[in-house]
């Protein structure tokens, strides 16, 4: 017998090779979304209205101005940021897991010229699209409530896509190691919920001790998303750790690009390892 | 027709999962237009081999080429010419029957109009036209299998991989699948079929590879294998200890086996020998039948058999 040409571990870490075919996977998810658009649309529309009415008008009446703005104006950009976070995170945890594990959709697509990497990348791009859709709905509500004071808000749907891609990539890392669907309770409660409250969303981070501010800006991605949505909608950014916007905004942008790139590559590799034995 | 064109070639093909060797240094060739059956007990390595053919599992070592393309380095080229009907139901429950075909066609870059045309043709061929707009979740098992089969043909594959296409089907649905396989054979589609059903393999396959514990243990046409390993006919009767010496004497040189509470005698002896034995000893529940592939399979893979 000839010497077998033993390959190194087939699951070695690589930069994924992607082609236009990722869009056929994205397109599949869009088609399904459009079939059920009524169910998808209404909750995303209703939720920000409730938040603005309850917290903005209701609770906001008892709260003093923040950075010279009414509380509702402080809150509105955070709702856009939260929509970016939830949109892709839930899509690429629960929904992707159902497609992968229960429906075997990834296996079926992998028998075609679309590669496993492209399937995962298509899912990530779709997650980012969900963030864009959800954030845009919230943005329309915010505009209709008259809470926009800067023309930069027009860039937010595009930003939502990239912010969504980051959360999608992080979510997909959890999906790659999830043994069952209930597993996602962990990231939901241990990762999303702390972010929901500690990223300068419902109250200024500057009200917290320096240590909490430092943690928020180092490890909580939502902090950076909020910085940018707030800058784009209200034209003001909270001086976290005493930094002014000229320094803070570039830090947020660089942080987001670096973290997105890292988790995008990592999640595809982890999923490939899970899907191909 | 290029009858001798090799479409699939495996050389020392091996797949290991950690320490478990699922496929162990196998060599085989499949020629254009052939229908080759992969037979083996559960866990023998059939599905693993098939999964390597459509580039889902990378081989651990050895070589596997599909129409000259390596599954390791040219997976896109391979997958473009292969159609896969996997064992499990992985139809897309988010879509209707026809969308399962058109969406799948999109992954192959088939233009929309062409995809619709092919989908309609397949639904007609597989008698699923009436269900075109139904959700797949409501289909019967037989209909699901046919839709999986139809989906595997949407890219007009040169090679069709059918992994246990009739498992769990009722006889009507099985026969429908068989008719379709025969039709595709006439169209010169090369077919790889894995199955546990020996009658299916005997009817459909030009050539059989019997796999056990990751190795190909025998290979040939169904007729060759039966002739070589079993003989022409099988005499079956209820086990009776007293008859064994007479049987051994009458059918000297033939193989006699005990399978459960039945005895089987594999023989080429003329019918007259059977008749005189039966007339003399009047054993219980006798049947004489043609030897078949199942006899070969059980002999070679040895499950549940004990020679006496």
| CATH assignment of the domain containing B276 | 3.30.70.120
Q: Are B203 and B178 in contact (CB under 8 A)?
A: yes
What's the pLDDT at B304?
53
B240 and B117 belong to one structural domain: no
Would the pLDDT of B106 be above 80?
Answer: yes
Tokens describing residue B150: 């139809």
Residues from chain A that touch B99, judged by Cβ atoms under 8 A, are 31
What's the pLDDT at B121?
95
B260 and B221 belong to one structural domain: no
Residue with tokens 């995809």: B115
Among B204, B226, B248, the domain-final residue is B226
DSSP string across chain A: -PPP-PPS-TT---PPP--TTHHHHHHHHHHHHHHTHHHHHHHHHHHHHHHIIIIIIIGGGGS--BTTB-HHHHHHHHHHHHHHHHHHHHIIIIIHHIIIIIS-HHHHHHTSSS-HHHHHHHHHHHHHHHHHHHHHHHHHHHHHTT----GGGGGHHHHHHHHHHHHHHHHHHHHHH-SSGGGGHHHIIIIIHHHHHHSSSSS-GGGS-HHHHHHHHHH-HHHHHHHHHHHHHHS----GGG--HHHHHHHHHHHHHHHHHHHHHHHHHHHHHHH--
Question: Across A173-187, B233-247, B270-284, which has the greatest mean pLDDT?
Answer: A173-187
Lowest model confidence (mean pLDDT) among A3-12, A69-78, A185-194: A3-12
Q: Which residue of B has its CA nearest to A32?
A: B94
SS3 B135: strand
What's the pLDDT at A1?
36
Q: With an 8 Å Cβ cutoff, are B80 and A113 in contact?
A: yes
Residues from chain B that touch A107, judged by Cβ atoms under 8 A, are 56, 86, 90
Nearest to B292 by CA among B195, B211, B226, B205: B226
What's the pLDDT at B3?
56
Tokens describing residue B24: 């162990």
B123 and B237 belong to one structural domain: no
B222 and B249 belong to one structural domain: no
Query: How many domains does chain B contain in total?
Result: 2
B86 and B116 belong to one structural domain: yes
Q: Which residue of B has its CA nearest to A276?
A: B57
| CATH code, B50 | 3.40.50.300
pLDDT digits (tens, 9 = 90+) for A76-85: 999 999 999 9
Mutation target to probe the A interface, by most A beta carbons within 10 A, among B11, B92, B163 is B92
Q: Which residue stretches of B19-140 are H helix?
A: 46-53, 75-81, 97-107, 112-125
Residue with tokens 């060739």: B29
Q: Are A266 and A169 in contact (CB under 8 A)?
A: yes
Q: With an 8 Å Cβ cutoff, are B12 and A4 in contact?
A: yes
Q: What is the mean pLDDT of residues B130-139?
A: 95
pLDDT digits (tens, 9 = 90+) for A93-110: 999 999 999 999 999 999
Query: Strand pairing of B82-85 and B20-31?
Result: unpaired
Among B56, B61, B93, select the one facing A5 at the smallest CB separation. Answer: B61
What CA–CA distance (Å, rounded) separates B295 from B171? Answer: 22
Q: Which residue stretches of B153-190 are H helix?
A: 171-186
What's the pLDDT at B1?
44
B52 and B98 belong to one structural domain: yes
Residue B237 is part of which domain span? 231-291
Whether A20 has its CB under 8 Å from any CB of chain B: the answer is no
* B65 DSSP β-pair partners: B9, B70
Give every strand in the sheet of B69-70, ordered side by side: B20-31, B6-17, B61-66, B69-70
Q: Which residue of A has its CA nearest to B51?
A: A111
What's the pLDDT at B146?
92
Among A27, A109, A277, select the one facing B17 at the smallest CB separation. Answer: A277
Would the pLDDT of A11 be above 90?
Answer: no
B248 and B178 belong to one structural domain: no
Q: With an 8 Å Cβ cutoff, are A24 and B90 in contact?
A: no
A32-41: list long-range contacts, CB under 8 Å, 24+ apart.
A32/B94, A32/B95, A33/A130, A35/B94, A41/A137
Residue A209 to residues A198, A214, A249, B66: CA-CA distances in angstroms?
12, 9, 21, 64
DSSP string across A51-77: HIIIIIIIGGGGS--BTTB-HHHHHHH
First to last CA, chain A: 26
Q: What is the mean pLDDT of residues B141-163?
A: 95
In a domain, B302, yes or no: no
In a domain, B300, yes or no: no
Give percent of chain B above pLDDT 90. Answer: 57
Among B183, B211, B226, the domain-final residue is B226
Residue with tokens 């037989």: B142
What's the pLDDT at B289?
82
pLDDT digits (tens, 9 = 90+) for A218-269: 999 999 999 999 999 998 888 999 899 899 999 999 999 999 999 999 999 9
Among B14, B82, B107, select the one facing A24 at the smallest CB separation. Answer: B107
* Mean of per-residue pLDDT scores for chain B: 89
B236 and B267 belong to one structural domain: yes
* B266 DSSP β-pair partners: B234, B255
In a domain, B1, yes or no: no
What CA–CA distance (Å, rounded) separates B66 from B70? Answer: 6
Length of chain A: 277
Among B54, B61, B76, select the one facing A4 at the smallest CB separation. Answer: B61
B142 and B69 belong to one structural domain: yes
Among B183, B205, B226, the domain-final residue is B226
Instruction: Compute the nearest-CA separation of A189 from chain B (Å).
Output: 29
What CA–CA distance (Å, rounded) separates B216 from B24? Answer: 9
Q: Which residue of A has its CA nearest to B151?
A: A108
B63 and B172 belong to one structural domain: yes
Model ipTM over 0.85: yes
B29 and B121 belong to one structural domain: yes
B133 and B191 belong to one structural domain: yes
């Amino acid at each position: 017998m000839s010497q077998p040409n033993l390959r190194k571990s087939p699951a070695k870490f690589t930069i994924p090779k992607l082609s236009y075919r990722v869009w056929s996977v994205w397109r599949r998810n869009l088609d399904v979304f459009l079939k059920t658009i009524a169910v998808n649309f209404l909750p995303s529309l209703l939720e920000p209205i409730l938040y603005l009415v309850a917290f903005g008008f209701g609770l906001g009446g008892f709260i003093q101005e923040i950075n010279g703005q009414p509380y509702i104006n402080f809150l509105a950009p955070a709702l856009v940021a939260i929509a970016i976070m939830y949109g892709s995170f839930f899509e690429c945890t629960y929904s992707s897991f159902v497609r992968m594990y229960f429906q075997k959709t990834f296996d079926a697509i992998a028998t075609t010229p679309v590669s496993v990497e492209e399937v995962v990348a298509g899912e990530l791009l779709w997650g980012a699209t969900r963030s864009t859709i959800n954030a845009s709905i919230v943005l329309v509500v915010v505009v209709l409530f008259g809470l926009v004071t800067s023309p930069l808000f027009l860039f937010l749907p595009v930003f939502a896509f990239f912010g969504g891609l980051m959360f999608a990539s992080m979510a997909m890392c959890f999906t790659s190691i999830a043994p069952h669907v209930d597993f996602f309770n962990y990231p939901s409660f241990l990762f999303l919920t702390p972010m929901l409250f500690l990223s300068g969303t419902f109250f200024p981070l500057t009200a917290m001790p320096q240590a909490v501010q430092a943690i928020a800006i180092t490890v909580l991605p939502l902090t950076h998303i909020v910085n940018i949505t707030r800058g784009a909608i209200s034209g003001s950014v909270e001086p976290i750790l005493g930094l002014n916007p000229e320094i803070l905004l570039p830090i947020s942008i660089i942080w987001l690009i670096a973290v997105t790139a890292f988790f995008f590559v990592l999640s595809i590799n982890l999923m490939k390892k899970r899907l191909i034995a | 027709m290029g009858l001798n064109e090799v479409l699939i070639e495996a050389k020392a093909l091996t797949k290991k999962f950690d320490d478990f060797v699922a496929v162990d240094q196998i060599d085989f060739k499949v020629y254009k237009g052939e229908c080759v059956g992969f037979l083996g007990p559960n866990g023998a390595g059939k599905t693993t081999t098939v999964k390597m053919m459509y580039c889902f599992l990378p081989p651990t070592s050895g070589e596997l080429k599909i129409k000259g393309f390596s599954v390791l380095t040219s997976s896109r080229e391979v997958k473009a010419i292969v159609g896969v009907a996997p064992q499990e139901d992985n139809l897309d429950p988010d879509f209707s029957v026809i969308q399962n075909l058109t969406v799948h066609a999109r992954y192959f870059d088939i233009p929309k109009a062409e995809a619709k045309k092919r989908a309609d043709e397949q639904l007609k061929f597989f008698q699923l036209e009436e269900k075109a707009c139904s959700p797949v979740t409501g289909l019967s098992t037989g209909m699901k299998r046919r839709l999986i089969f139809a989906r595997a043909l949407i890219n007009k594959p040169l090679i069709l991989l059918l992994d246990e296409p009739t498992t769990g089907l009722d006889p009507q649905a099985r026969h429908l699948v068989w008719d379709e396989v025969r039709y595709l054979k006439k169209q010169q589609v090369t077919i790889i079929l894995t199955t546990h059903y020996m009658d299916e393999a005997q009817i459909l396959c030009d050539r059989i590879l019997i796999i056990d514990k990751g190795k190909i243990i025998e290979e040939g046409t169904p007729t060759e294998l039966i002739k070589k390993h079993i003989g022409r006919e099988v005499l079956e009767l209820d086990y009776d200890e007293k008859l064994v010496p007479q049987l051994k004497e009458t059918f000297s040189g033939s193989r006699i086996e005990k399978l459960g509470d039945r005895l089987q005698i594999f023989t080429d002896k003329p019918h007259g020998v059977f008749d005189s034995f039966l007339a003399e000893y009047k054993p219980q529940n006798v049947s004489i039948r043609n030897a078949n592939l199942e006899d070969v399979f059980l002999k070679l893979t040895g499950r549940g058999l004990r020679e006496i």
